[in-house]
Structure 1
Amino acid sequence: MSNIISMNDDLVLDVPDCVEIPFIEGDGIGPDIWQAAQPVFDTAVQQAYNGQKKIQWLNIPAGAKGFNKTGEWLSDDALEIIEAHRVAIKGPLATPVGSGMRSLNVKIRQHLDLYACIRPVRYFSPIQSPVKHPEHVNITVFRENTEDLYAGIEWASGSFEAQKLLKFMKTELDVDVCATAAIGLKPICPEKSKRLVKKAVAYAVDNGLKSVTLMHKGNIMKYTEGGFRQWGYEAAQEYFGDRVVTEDELFKSHNGILPRGKVLIRDRIADMVFAEVLLRPQEFDVIAAPNLNGDYISDALAAQVGGLGIAPGANVGDRCAVFEATHGTAPDLAGKDAANPCSIILSGAMMLDHMGWNRAADLVRRSVAQTLGGGRATGDLASGMEGCKEVSCSEFGRIICETISRIDMP
């Protein structure tokens, strides 16, 4: 019997009890946080299923480790392994700014068509926060992952390609742009916008949530982000029909009161979303956004609850999913056993949920909450938590494992 996850024609995963999962340690602090996180996952699976389920880990060389071993930062073989296994998890991968190789994270998302970046943001007490009521933040962001300005279609100032495009724009479209401009394209299409919003609304329906907000800048970028808004409404109606209610319908037909079992689909200009999640975060359940907006709002929300160190993330397509630490490589902390492993640990909980191993996922999240609530955290969090004991990265992982082992499962 194969130990690799398979998928049926309805895109439902078949996960064997002893399953092989690929992982990429990542660069910088990647090895540190992975060595703290892997025992947490193993302990949670053991405790949840009394040894009847198990993960066998498959190490994939990528990033600096991959380059040193194969001469490639991310080989085609690595991508094929992830695709064949359906599910993988990774640490942070380094990407230079301004020049050099393109983002490995973007390459993984585009090659595997992982079109939905899913970022659930919630508060863990008593982490220090810059806002008065971080406990009101419980928002999941669905960010389109494969197009928009992150498509990587751009040319440097003065390059042959930029000059050729500038000339075409001037002669064929009568658009006059500065002759020294660097040029980037912002493709946003109906099909990719609709599948992203479909996944966001399905998440709201499946989890009994009340609203999905389409975040856009369609008042200025009328055909790209305005298109995202239009196609988002169309997708909600096409796929969910009477399960969704627009804001207009809410007030015209329901006196402003959301009917039981319905999901409100609405839109907000991007500027206002940033303001409203600060002032009234409890009014948001799910935010669906194009790539760039989604990137910004995900990190901004994470800051409201304590930072990227506790923000999990998943990149999900129809046939494959990669779960990841959402922060950077922090090379200044690499090898010092001082990094915060919460992001990859909580991303692993998302992975377990995706596999249908929800009991193990719940154990991970409960144990993280209990450990932080008990006043033990890595230095980045402990410095702002009154009476908190600062622990190392590896010690934090061990404490979570011990906490998991003490939780009785029904």
Structure 2
Amino acid sequence: MSDLETDIIDLSHDGRGVARSDGKVIFVRGALPGERVRIGPRKRHRHFDEAELLAVLTPSAQRAIPPCPHFGRCGGCALQHLQSAAQLAAKQRVLAENFERIGKVVPQRWLAPLADAPWAYRRKGRLSVRWVEKKGRVLVGFREDNPRFVADLGSCAVLAPPFDTLLAPLAALVDSLDARRDIPQIEFARGDDAALLLFRHMQPLGAADRARLAVFSDRHAIALWLQSGGPDSAQPLRELDARALSYRIDDDAIEIVFQPLDFIQVNAGMNRRMLALALDLLAPQAHERVLDLFAGLGNFTLPIARRAAVVAGVEGDAGLVARAAENATRNALGNARFHTANLFADQRQAPWAREAWDKILLDPPRAGAAELLDYLPGTSVRRVVYVSCHPGSLARDAGTLVQRHGFRLTAAGVMDMFPHTAHVESIALFERD
């Protein structure tokens, strides 16, 4: 393929513009539907090509100027060049297409897209670290579009403070360490009142390096942890770094304490909005029994417990289950109980699966809940709220709930948990008479 002028006709699931030439699909990063562009060859495949955007000849009315100077090199964001409202509309189209194509279902009504602040939202994540011989220095940031490379970032507009301005200081810190070549990743996490960095290191750190880390921790008022092996090896650098992280939800009535490597929703503002919407759709009543599957730390379980007679949270990670139970005790919610179970295995003989439930909340990982839907929901369940991080698995499971279990897909909508990315978070309500 040589240089070509063409029209962009669609947006792909990963945020690239879609063109066609001689019957073959071409993906163009940075191009938007409705634009006339000039593109150059980048990579050829059997069924599609990838092209480089050389010039936008006729821009879309929905094109935005990316505020981040690293956009286009850093792979952390794919849609900064598209206005926020248009991003949400594109995500809803992806969800609708998945429902129709995979699940063969259509919602009776669409919920208004749920959004919060589009910048400085990411409170948890993982940064890549790499010593680059040719540059003679360390880079700290997200991967580039080509995942073999780490983007050279000075700041990040989507990271929550204080992480947004710490990328350059972190690169300088690692550059000063004797173990600069042995640190591949830095995890970051922030609660409501404290922030933490966790350094993965492949070799033991010497006393001089540990002292440099301690100085950085004190200078930036941020706790610092180390991880030399698997998750169980994570430990604070010093005793004073061991302070707990926590966040409050449900009008600040509930406090959830978590460990640095625990899963939490990365967008605090959207998490609060999502919880309010999920509770509104689920509508737990004081006499009802509710089952929360893939419960994690109790992010949904504990607010449900304030409204229902009984709630059971089921989760596969034993550490998360233990901390969820501690969070229930801490918040004096004695009607919440938790079970450890592999929800991708057949659990139909488990006591909690054999009980009668009125309502179910599902919040599975990307793989969805296909295995669960072989034996749940039971006949007593009249309402299911499904929170999804992958539209394809939601659509598949929606088809199962509607066609096999007799539910109606009453409502569905997208939630902008990851603004400026192509990630589609969504929520769906299923009901049966």
Higher normalized strand content (fraction of residues): 2
Same structural fold, with TM-score higher than 0.5 when normalized by the shorter chain: no
> TM-score, normalized by length of structure 1?
0.32
Higher normalized helix content (fraction of residues): 1
Higher relative contact order (CA 8 A, sep 6+): 1
> TM-score, normalized by length of structure 2?
0.30
